[in-house]
Amino acid sequence: MNIMEPAVFIFCALECEAKPLLNQYGLKKWRQPHSFAIYRAEDRVLVVSGVGKTAMAGAVGYAMAIFQPLNPVLINLGIAGHRDIPTGSLVMADTVIDADNQEKRFYPQWIGRWPCQSRPLSTLAQPDFSYSGDSLYDMEGAAFYQIALKFSSSELIHCIKVISDNLDQSAKHINAKAVSSWVAKQLPATDAIIARLLACRQQTTELPPKYYQSLIERYHFSVSGRIKLKSLLQRWEVVSDRAPLTFDQQAFSDAKQLLRWLERQIAGRSFYL
């Protein structure tokens, strides 16, 4: 794994949510123009998606296609409403629900105790000021989580929310300055969460198999292609008892041709337990 690759990806819907993080992490705007505002430091990336499920899903897929990270920490950081939690409070989602399709439910994996409280998070297509039940309410979390699961493991994917409105303080009165102030005050707790997730990632992210790095540098693989390449190389190590894989890298015109060749090599090996 290239240690210079970004390990942390933070997705915000609004610029005012992202603003406090830019100075905190030394993030700079990256290679414009892009479909989304992308900011980067050495080990982390922040993407501003715009409001709504479609925008957030697009931002996650877009960033993963550009950077193609290995088992990254993926965070949706932004504001949410709740019935009675005070504004400015930090809350993590212990369940993520698409309110428009109740079958879409996601359950983040917890690593010990977090430095904040937790609640279920319901993602709506349109704002709702009724604050029914004990859920947080936002407009991006479920779309973020659904797409993020395609690119990392669930213990490294989380929705972190700062309460912006409740029954006493309506969402109609939210302003950008207040949002940035709330997020800034919660940066120490946010940093603690990210540090714990990075430690978990270091423990669980295995080194890529032999040949993986040289092959992705020589051929252009899509995100799914990289995943398949890694899987095939791991299978080769098992069925061949880690025998060298002899081939001429110049013999393949593209990544798909190489993957088909690897499949044939594995299929041709006898393997017994």
Confirm if 171 and 183 have CB atoms less than 8 A apart: no
Whether the bond between 33 and the residue before it is cis, its omega within 30 degrees of 0, is yes
Q: Which residue has the higher pLDDT, 247 or 233?
A: 233
**What does the pLDDT average to over 65-71?**
87
Q: What is the pLDDT of residue 216?
A: 87
Q: Which residue has the higher pLDDT, 247 or 83?
A: 83
AA identity, residue 37: A
Report the candidate in 97, 92, 100, 71 with the shortest Cα–Cα distance to residue 223: 71
* 103 has a pLDDT exceeding 80: yes
Q: Which residue has the higher pLDDT, 12 or 214?
A: 12
Q: What is the pLDDT of residue 111?
A: 78
Report the candidate in 70, 41, 24 with the shortest Cα–Cα distance to residue 183: 24
**pLDDT bucket at 2, cuts 50 / 70 / 90:** very low
Query: Which of 58-62, 128-132, 153-157 is predicted least confidently?
Result: 128-132
* 20 has a pLDDT exceeding 70: yes
Mean of pLDDT over the chain: 89
* 43 has a pLDDT exceeding 70: yes
* 248 has a pLDDT exceeding 80: no
CATH level 2 (architecture), domain 8-204 = 3-Layer(aba) Sandwich (3.40)
Q: What is the pLDDT of residue 273?
A: 42
Query: Which of 19-28, 58-67, 154-163, 202-211 is predicted least confidently?
Result: 202-211
Q: What is the pLDDT of residue 207?
A: 67
Q: What is the pLDDT of residue 1?
A: 39
* 206 has a pLDDT exceeding 80: no
* Helix ranges, the chain (H): 15-25, 53-67, 141-148, 176-185, 187-204, 212-218, 223-239, 255-267
**What does the pLDDT average to over 20-45?**
89
* 3 has a pLDDT exceeding 50: no
Angstrom distance (rounded) from CA 218 to CA 145: 32
For the chain, give every domain's residue range.
8-204, 212-267
Report the candidate in 228, 232, 229, 241 with the shortest Cα–Cα distance to residue 271: 241
Query: Which of 18-22, 64-68, 226-230, 268-272 is predicted least confidently?
Result: 268-272
AA identity, residue 255: A
* 160 has a pLDDT exceeding 80: yes
Query: Which of 30-44, 71-85, 127-141, 151-165 is predicted least confidently?
Result: 30-44
Q: What is the pLDDT of residue 272?
A: 45
